[in-house]
Amino acid sequence: MIREMISGMALTLRKLFERPVTIQYPEQKPDVPPRYRGSIVLTRDPSGEERCVACYLCSAACPVDCITIEATEREDGRRYPAAFRINFLRCIMCGMCAEACPTLAIQMDPNFEMGEVRQQDMIYEKDDLLINGPGKYPDYSFWEEAGVAVTHALGQGRQDQPPADPRSNLP
Ligand code: SF4
Ligand code: SF4
């Protein structure tokens, strides 16, 4: 019994002189990793056009069904979402929507400060989600690689890699 008490006191004494791991949030912000799954944004491609082509894949992949999209089309045939809503009251920040997106439009950023007093404020519309930049993929343009107006041959696109040579693996 005495031994346990002494070892407990020794541990307390040792921790007194160690650097504290707590931080004074919110004055002091924690460092979160760049791939942290925080709030969700809709990004634009390098030409400034919105990347989302309203394919509904993110909505289908979402396990809690919190994404609502209404698709429409421009005169040049490019699809985009007329409405895009995420209900963050239900979102579990799983990242499945970002994984499913073929155009890298929907991305998760490290912002975790999304608390609101009113429930209605947790419903984000397209205006709340669409940002003015390309997010984590500054050079990627889905439209130039797979849009309806693509004219280049397969493998000749700006972002295409040269074909792999299987003989390069031979000893
Ligand atoms: S992070 Fe997960 S739960 Fe949230 S919108 Fe995306 S798929 Fe749905
Ligand atoms: S965000 Fe991506 S997956 Fe969702 S509708 Fe737009 S293009 Fe499709």
Per-residue confidence (pLDDT) for residue 145, from 0 to 100: 79
Burial of 143 from C-beta contacts in 10 A (0-12 / 13-18 / 19+): middle
Domains parsed from the chain with CATH numbers: 30-137 (3.30.70.3270)
Q: CA-CA distance, 22 to 30, in Å (whole number)?
A: 10
Q: Rounded to the nearest whole angstrom, what is the distance from the C-alpha of residue 70 to the centroid of ligand 1?
A: 17
Give the separation between CA 125 and CA 133, rounded to whole angstroms: 18
The two three-digit tokens of residue 39, written as one number: 């709030």
CA 161 to ligand 1 centroid distance, Å = 31
Q: Running along the chain, 171 residues long, what does each successive block of 10 average in pLDDT? A: 92 90 90 90 95 96 97 92 97 96 95 94 97 93 80 74 82 79
Please tell me the pTM assigned to this model: 0.81
40-42 and 106-108 strand pairing: antiparallel
The C-alpha angle with vertex 52 and arms to 51 and 58, in degrees rounded to 5, equals: 135
For residue 100, which atom of ligand 2 is closest to its CA? 3
Determine the pLDDT at residue 150: 74
Task: Give nearest CA residue, ligand 1 atom 5.
Answer: 91
What is the helix (H) or strand (E) element at residue 81, kind and residue range?
strand 79-87
CA distance 142 to 52: 9
Give pLDDT, residue 159.
73
Does residue 10 sit in helix, strand or coil? Answer: helix
Q: Residue 148 has what pLDDT?
A: 74
Using CA positions, which residue lies closest to atom 4 of ligand 2? 58
Q: Which ligand is nearest to the CA of 55?
A: 2
Helix (H) or strand (E) holding 4: helix 2-16
